[in-house]
């Protein structure tokens, strides 16, 4: 009991210390007694759990705004609040994050990630000061290094330009501040270069993978293991996109797939008579899920609405048009349309409302990492190599990965799956990009980063509270793809330089 109370006190001290971004921890207060204490602290303050992490779906093309509808001359208050809350992002306003007044607001990914990074650093700094076996310490270190690398990857891909974007010199382009110790100097912390940040992420993830592989086996999908580390490395190399990175993405995904290659067959979800009921692809017991965390829904698509009108934001028609909807209950075609979204009814017609990837009635949600992404990451890397070198083996390997994924997603009860066979490199890349959109829709902010790294733009139609309609565009390779750092973070860290807006 004494140890439990001490650990709770330690967690309380850490949580209160994290209220301000650059506030130092007092080393007199940080005296964990064992690796068990550090493990408990890691679970509460280094792991993301249900941290408020923005998906930025309002910036991408998988969500649409619906016209404001008044009922009996009045506007639904929830409807109006939801419209107002997402207006700045949906219309690509350069000041979209200036109104954030808390380090833990859902739109403030910047401060939320640094709070978690600080938790990682505190635990890493304390490891040598507590008794425990080398194996236990290495397991803790591996998890914290992975989490730190993961958080920095989210930060740098959100608030900086992509590593290999046109006109970007990684050795001089601004990344984000690298904070690798719980002891932070006074005077603020400047932004490191893009290259310095990416180098540190790679270093953390590679070392984490080795430590986890040799010292730790996760008990469930809520904990981190070496297969997940390889999976995030495949994402990292795909995002980086420099010389040799396609090969590294292929190798990292391949190492994970050696151990975790099973995909969920969506056909097995179909009930008798072709009945469709929610199941959730993010099920912690699913062999496809390497990691799961986060709340149940993103805030953007949860507003209440009057049953006589569409809600203010729904899944976009653009996204829904990507799915093969089959011919009826005997053949649903691409089952992701049936199972990846929740539906509601308006005037007798169903419409996709929000994500359906979460497990029904579970307190966890739609973030993490799935085997499906391993296949997608490796397929895209193979295609990039094929376009560059013309090696037919790369094309065939990419098609094999894409078809392996797709056969698990199609209704094969009565209709055999027809494999895709595309010979042109650019056409195959486009198909892979579309497949990635279909598979990862409304999941952990993938779409915004994919649009950014592929040099694609977004156009939104928005209807304001006075029912005036406007069109807003985020152009390909726009400087605004490096999102503005929230004003509250700029105030808390005088060493920061804002992105061009």
- Condensed to tens digits (0 to 9), the pLDDT of residues 391-450 reads 999 999 999 999 999 999 999 999 999 999 999 999 999 999 999 999 999 999 999 999
User: For position 427, what pLDDT does the model report?
Assistant: 98
Range 432-437 contact pairs with CB under 8 angstroms and sequence separation of 24 or more: 432/376, 432/379, 432/380, 432/383, 432/398, 432/402, 433/380, 434/322, 435/376, 435/379, 435/402, 435/405, 435/406, 436/376, 436/380, 437/62, 437/319, 437/322
Q: How confident is the model at residue 78 (pLDDT cuts 50, 70, 90)?
A: low
User: For position 5, what pLDDT does the model report?
Assistant: 32
User: For position 305, what pLDDT does the model report?
Assistant: 61
HEC assignment per residue over 192-208: CEHHHHHHHHHHHHHHH
- Return the percentage of the chain with pLDDT > 70, whole number: 86
SS3 211: helix
75 pLDDT higher than 80:
no
User: For position 11, what pLDDT does the model report?
Assistant: 40
What sign has the CA pseudo-torsion 148, 443, 254, 393? negative
User: For position 380, what pLDDT does the model report?
Assistant: 98
User: For position 296, what pLDDT does the model report?
Assistant: 63
Which residue would you say has higher pLDDT here, 296 or 54?
Answer: 54
Listed by start position, the domains of the chain span 2-251+442-492
User: For position 347, what pLDDT does the model report?
Assistant: 72
Q: How confident is the model at residue 298 (pLDDT cuts 50, 70, 90)?
A: low
User: For position 13, what pLDDT does the model report?
Assistant: 35
- Condensed to tens digits (0 to 9), the pLDDT of residues 91-136 reads 999 999 998 888 878 789 999 999 999 999 999 999 999 999 999 9
Helix axes 134-159, 194-215, angle to 10 degrees: 150
Nearest-angstrom CA–CA distance, 369 and 231: 8
User: For position 188, what pLDDT does the model report?
Assistant: 86
Average pLDDT value for the chain: 88
Which residue would you say has higher pLDDT here, 97 or 310?
Answer: 97
Q: What is the mean pLDDT of residues 169-191?
A: 90
**CATH class of segment(s) 2-251+442-492:** mainly alpha
Cβ proximity of 293 and 222 under 8 Å: yes
Q: How confident is the model at residue 28 (pLDDT cuts 50, 70, 90)?
A: very low
Cβ proximity of 442 and 59 under 8 Å: no
User: For position 23, what pLDDT does the model report?
Assistant: 43
């Amino acid at each position: 009991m004494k140890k439990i109370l001490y650990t709770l006190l330690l967690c309380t001290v850490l949580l209160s210390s994290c209220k301000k971004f650059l506030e130092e921890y007092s080393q007199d207060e940080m005296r964990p007694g064992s690796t068990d204490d550090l493990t408990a602290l890691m679970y509460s303050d280094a792991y993301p759990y249900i941290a408020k992490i923005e998906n930025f779906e309002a910036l991408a093309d998988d969500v649409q705004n619906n016209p404001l509808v008044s009922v009996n001359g009045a506007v639904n208050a929830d409807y109006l609040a939801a419209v107002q809350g997402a207006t700045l992002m949906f219309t690509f306003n350069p000041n979209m994050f200036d109104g954030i007044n808390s380090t833990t607001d859902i739109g403030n990914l910047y401060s939320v990630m640094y709070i978690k990074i600080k938790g990682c650093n505190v635990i890493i700094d304390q490891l040598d000061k507590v008794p425990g076996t080398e194996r236990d310490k290495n397991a803790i270190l591996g998890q914290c290094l992975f989490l730190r690398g993961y958080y920095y990857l989210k930060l740098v891909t959100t608030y900086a330009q992509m590593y290999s974007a046109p006109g970007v010199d990684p050795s001089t382009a601004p990344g984000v501040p690298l904070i690798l110790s719980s002891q932070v100097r006074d005077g603020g912390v400047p932004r490191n270069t893009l290259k310095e940040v990416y180098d540190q992420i790679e270093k953390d993830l590679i070392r984490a993978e080795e430590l986890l592989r040799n010292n730790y086996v996760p008990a469930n999908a809520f904990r981190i293991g070496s297969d997940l580390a390889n999976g995030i490395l495949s994402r990292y190399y795909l995002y980086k996109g420099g010389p040799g990175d396609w090969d590294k993405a292929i190798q990292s995904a391949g190492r994970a797939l050696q151990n975790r290659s099973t995909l969920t067959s969506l056909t097995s979800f179909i009930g008798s008579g072709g009945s469709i009921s929610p199941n959730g692809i993010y099920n912690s017991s699913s062999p496809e899920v390497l990691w799961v965390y986060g709340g149940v829904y993103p805030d953007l698509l949860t507003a209440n609405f009057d049953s006589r009108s569409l809600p203010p934001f729904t899944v976009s028609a653009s996204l829904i048009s990507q799915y093969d909807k089959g011919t009826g209950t005997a053949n649903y075609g691409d089952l992701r349309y049936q199972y990846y979204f929740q539906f509601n009814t308006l005037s007798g017609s169903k419409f996709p409302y929000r994500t359906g990837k979460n497990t029904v009635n579970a307190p966890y949600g739609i973030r993490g990492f799935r085997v499906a992404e391993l296949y997608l990451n490796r397929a895209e890397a193979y295609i990039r190599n094929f376009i560059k070198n013309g090696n037919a083996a790369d094309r065939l390997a990419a098609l094999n990965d894409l078809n392996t994924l797709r056969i698990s997603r199609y209704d094969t009860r009565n209709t055999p799956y027809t494999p895709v066979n595309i010979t042109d490199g650019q056409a195959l890349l486009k198909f892979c990009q579309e497949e990635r959109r279909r598979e990862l829709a409304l999941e952990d902010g993938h779409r915004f980063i994919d649009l950014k790294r592929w040099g694609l733009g977004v156009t939104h139609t928005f209807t304001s509270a006075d029912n005036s309609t406007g069109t807003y565009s985020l152009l390909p390779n726009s400087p605004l793809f490096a999102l503005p750092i929230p004003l509250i973070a700029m105030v808390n860290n005088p060493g920061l330089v804002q992105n061009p807006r």
